[in-house]
Chain A
């Protein structure tokens, strides 16, 4: 099938999308330096800066979460490709308000490599940076290194960003990010491929009547290709795997996020959420908070990510804290 997208020259996609994003949210964000997405009004001195990086083509991830109460700076790479270390270092310098910087990195090979190089350069400059890696995709197997970072970045940005905004020191912000990270699990399912906006090629093949559980953000193969199932059946299979992996017990409190991949409707996501809630109730597990929407997408890929996270009182308080990030406004 021929690609149908409203773009101009493929090589200008990233620059043009960032420009449009900044122009449409002038009170919250601005572009600065070499196309870094930063807050319109920088944070006060003496607070921890929060920085992230990631490829483009996943909008509103990741730059949609720059704003008061969340990120300070986001470094957007090329389509589906991590930005290099030089721009990440520039972002770390920009987010240095004198209390250190928390660098939140999603576990993908290119991102981790850039982040490691950035950390070396930052240390040489004497910058006080701590890096936290999100890797909560259970389809990667039991080895944490093989688990990719999916929509779990959202609660980590949120709780660590809120802690930084409160003026908590770097060690505390880092500990909160790590605690959030340890207590979350995600599983993705895909039913239809996306086309790469630069090449016009489909990024994977999936039969008309199939779905694949465990599919990564860029069409990386998952664990289970199976005939397409109903919303209820799909939610049951995926939630069951997640609850087992996180070893959730009755009485515990969960945050549940359902993230649309780009072409799956809110209608479907709400139908799925309804079934997730029913299952949790039946098992005596409390839904502390829920969120449904598009936070990280892959073009017109159809499918969704289901994330669960075990919450404690402090994590809930930080999740509820105010934010004016364009795609996470909370008062």
Chain B
């Protein structure tokens, strides 16, 4: 199989996501100062360290176990709701049957859908509430649509990254209705939600990391 995601491809997607967060963590903390306590960048740095650790060389060889470990590791970040939600998301991916073998674009979408389904059991937040869901839901939906449309894995990840970024950007004009920021209400308008911005970076990194693994040229 050429156009399929193996455990090693996924490891490079995670590495790409970690690089994206590391390059922008100061911006994430700045966004968090507007509506939270300014530590979101630091939390995300710890989260991506632990994500990468789950995929480190010498660890388990199957994607399912790596994802289970990744979820558990991120839950242990102790960074409040953001790290718990991300932990649930990555751990939930392990529930997808598609992670038992190399996944094609449709299988990859199924893996991300399983993560989103696990997340939805823990939060009632919907797109429009100014949370990470504003970036995550459109990204996963875009993945599914691209896969159904017969797109390659790389192209599927590219449209997902674009949808996540657009979703994050749209949170600028929203009012927070969940988490600590909801108590700030209208004061949260005018700033991107830090959780959504993080999801945008993660998906951008998944795409770039996957491109690196396949040696394809990026057209993003």
Do A and B form a real pair?
yes
Residues of A near any B CB (own CB < 8 A)? 55, 77-87, 108-110, 113-114, 116-117, 140, 196, 198-199, 201, 203, 216, 218-222
Contact of A113 among B42, B81, B183, B184 (CB under 8 A): B81
A38 to B213, CA, bound (A): 47
- State whether B187 touches A84 (Cβ < 8 A): no
Q: Which residues of B contact A140 (CB under 8 A)?
A: 183
Minimal Cβ-Cβ distance residue in A for B179: A109
Contact of B88 among A117, A198, A199 (CB under 8 A): A117
A78 to B74, CA, bound (A): 14
A86 to B88, CA, bound (A): 12
A59 to B81, CA, bound (A): 21
A–B complex contacts, Cβ < 8 Å, 25 sampled: A78-B79, A80-B37, A80-B39, A81-B43, A81-B83, A82-B78, A82-B80, A84-B76, A84-B79, A86-B72, A87-B78, A108-B180, A109-B80, A109-B81, A110-B180, A113-B84, A198-B39, A199-B39, A201-B38, A216-B180, A218-B180, A219-B37, A220-B180, A220-B183, A222-B183
A83 to B43, CA, bound (A): 12
Known: A109-B179, A110-B84, A216-B183. A201 touches B33 (CB 8 A): yes
Q: Which residues of A contact B75 (CB under 8 A)?
A: 84-86, 117
- State whether B184 touches A199 (Cβ < 8 A): no
Determine how close the nearest CB of chain A comes to the CB of B107; give it in whole angstroms. Answer: 27
7 nearest A-B pairs in the assembled complex, by CB-CB distance: A110-B80, A220-B183, A81-B80, A110-B81, A199-B38, A84-B75, A109-B179
Beta-carbon contacts under 8 Å, B168-190 to A:
178-180, 183-185, 187
Contact of B78 among A84, A203, A220 (CB under 8 A): A84
- State whether B78 touches A196 (Cβ < 8 A): no
B122 at interface (Cβ–Cβ under 8 A)? yes
Determine how close the nearest CB of chain A comes to the CB of B214; give it in whole angstroms. Answer: 34
Residues of B near any A CB (own CB < 8 A)? 29, 33, 36-39, 42-43, 72, 74-85, 87-88, 122-123, 178-180, 183-185, 187
- State whether A221 touches B185 (Cβ < 8 A): yes
Q: Which residues of B contact A55 (CB under 8 A)?
A: 80
Known: A81-B78, A220-B184. A196 touches B84 (CB 8 A): no
Determine how close the nearest CB of chain A comes to the CB of B90; give it in whole angstroms. Answer: 13
A7 to B42, CA, bound (A): 18
Contact of A221 among B33, B80, B85, B183 (CB under 8 A): B183
Overall SS of chain B's interface: helix
Q: Which residues of B contact A199 (CB under 8 A)?
A: 29, 33, 37-39, 42
Q: Which residues of B contact A219 (CB under 8 A)?
A: 37
- State whether A116 touches B122 (Cβ < 8 A): yes
- State whether B183 touches A87 (Cβ < 8 A): no
A110 to B182, CA, bound (A): 13
Known: A116-B122, A199-B37, A199-B39. A81 touches B184 (CB 8 A): no
- State whether A77 touches B78 (Cβ < 8 A): yes
- State whether B184 touches A221 (Cβ < 8 A): yes
Q: Which residues of B contact A220 (CB under 8 A)?
A: 180, 183-184
- State whether A196 touches B122 (Cβ < 8 A): no
Q: Which residues of A contact B187 (CB under 8 A)?
A: 221
- State whether B39 touches A81 (Cβ < 8 A): yes
- State whether B81 touches A196 (Cβ < 8 A): no
- State whether B78 touches A83 (Cβ < 8 A): yes
Q: Which residues of A contact B39 (CB under 8 A)?
A: 78-81, 196, 198-199
Most A-side CB within 10 Å, residue of B75, B77, B88, B122 = B75
A117 to B187, CA, bound (A): 30
A80 to B87, CA, bound (A): 19
- State whether B180 touches A109 (Cβ < 8 A): yes
- 14 other contacts beyond A77-B79, A81-B39, A198-B42, with CB at 8 A cut-off? A78-B43, A79-B39, A81-B78, A84-B74, A86-B72, A87-B78, A108-B180, A109-B81, A110-B80, A113-B84, A117-B75, A201-B37, A203-B37, A218-B36
Determine how close the nearest CB of chain A comes to the CB of B133; give it in whole angstroms. Answer: 14
Determine how close the nearest CB of chain A comes to the CB of B217; give it in whole angstroms. Answer: 39
Determine how close the nearest CB of chain B comes to the CB of A86; give it in whole angstroms. Answer: 4
Determine how close the nearest CB of chain A comes to the CB of B102; give it in whole angstroms. Answer: 30
A84 to B75, CA, bound (A): 5
Minimal Cβ-Cβ distance residue in B for A200: B38
